[in-house]
Structure 1
Amino acid sequence: MKTLVRVLLGTVALVALGGGGWYAYNSALTQPVREIAFTGDTSKVARADLDKLAESVRAMPPGNSTLVAVREGAKRLPWVRDASVRRRFPDGLEVRLEMHDALARWSDGLLVNPQGELFAGRTEAKLPKFTGPEGSSPEMAREYPGIARALVPIESSLAELHLSPRGAWQVVLDSGLVLELGRGDVVARIDRFAGAWPRLAKADPVPKYADLRYPNGFALKRARDPNDLPTKPASKTKRA
């Protein structure tokens, strides 16, 4: 009998503690937010933008819906890829930010991250320019590292990477050299051209246009003026 009484008393105590904890939790949720802490990598976000978001959070009605609204508001900030929000009892919030990394520039002032996601942000960093059909940025981000590595022997950085609606690739280097890569295994075509580059680089003038779409070689255009480039493949094939 005594054992049963002890069990019952213990159960009552646990229920009371649980009820008290639940009451405290709900009570905290009804408290207005006064303190907001931004954690994670915040280096790319302007302090003024964080202060503006914090001010809007303090004006929000308390409740779980506030957490959702804060997360969505944080994700709209420039450079923010994702955000997580949790309560800091009794009256605080912690907003943890995950930043985008810029891989390239896109049209309309947007940037591209390594996953191919487009985002708003400003940077003075020297980045290549991607141009392609709508929705093609993931494919371009995926192919870019292999193309960039293949270009290393040419000793000129990739300035522009273009993808046509038909899936044909074109590269423009900092030196002004234009490479028509076409479709298919474009890295193999660059490798073949890069193998011949030490000899081609000694030419006067240096080639400014190369059509690599031929199965066993490439066609060259030695243009002195970068604007004087052919719009169609050259007729002669230079064997590599």
Structure 2
Amino acid sequence: MGVLKGKTALVTGGSRGIGRAVAERLARDGARVGVHYGSNEGAAKETVATILAAGGDAFAIGQELGVPGDAEALWAAFDAHADGLDILVNNAGIGASAPFSSISEEEYERIFAVNTKAPFFLSRLGVERLRDGGRIVNVSTGLSHAAVMPELIAYAMSKSALDTFTRYLSKVLGPRGITVNAVAPGIVDTDINAGWLRGNEEAWAGAAAMSALGKVGEPADIADVVAFLASHDGRWVTGQWIDATGGSLA
């Protein structure tokens, strides 16, 4: 408890799912957390309220990602609430709704705009605010290392680019003592997966069977890994792709 006291964090896509779990965990560890949302203001305010009720500190900031000027606008909103940054978690992302045979250029471009371009420029502008010894954690996916869901090819490609960005950025920011890592979840029980996973015993069993631990991941499973990397204990880990799939790639 309190290992992040005095630190300020920003979690993109922090209103639901993995992002919410990360925001709540960092706040529980003592950080003041900016909870970013793209469109669901109600969910972001609920996350903030939960953090405040637990004795933490948080604020919500809204900005659609994947559009021109998104990074500048998000940081302008952040600056109205905080003076400087210690932890940036690039969690916000979208998946593909169409397979390789039918995906449109528009959807392809949107996926890369949100999943790859937005973290790049949020980080580029964010390092002006990020204090020495800070942390950047990018949320990737196990699909960037294993082609187990070929229908998500565009999504996997966008995250593979994010993995490369992680490695290179760790070299750029290393002299300032800033670590940069990617955390790669497998199948996690979140709202985005609810449509095909929850209430479907066959789908749930199949997802659980993919993990060496025989279970479906929970948002907290990922949040705890992010929290380690964000803490002092993670100071000697940088430029890494951390498999947080529960052994799905073993």
TM-score, normalised on structure 2? 0.19
Structure ranking higher in strand proportion: 1
Please tell me whether Structure 1 or Structure 2 has the larger radius of gyration of its CA atoms. 1
TM-score, normalised on structure 1? 0.20
Q: Which has the higher contact order (CA 8 A, sep 6+)?
A: 2
Structure ranking higher in helix proportion: 2
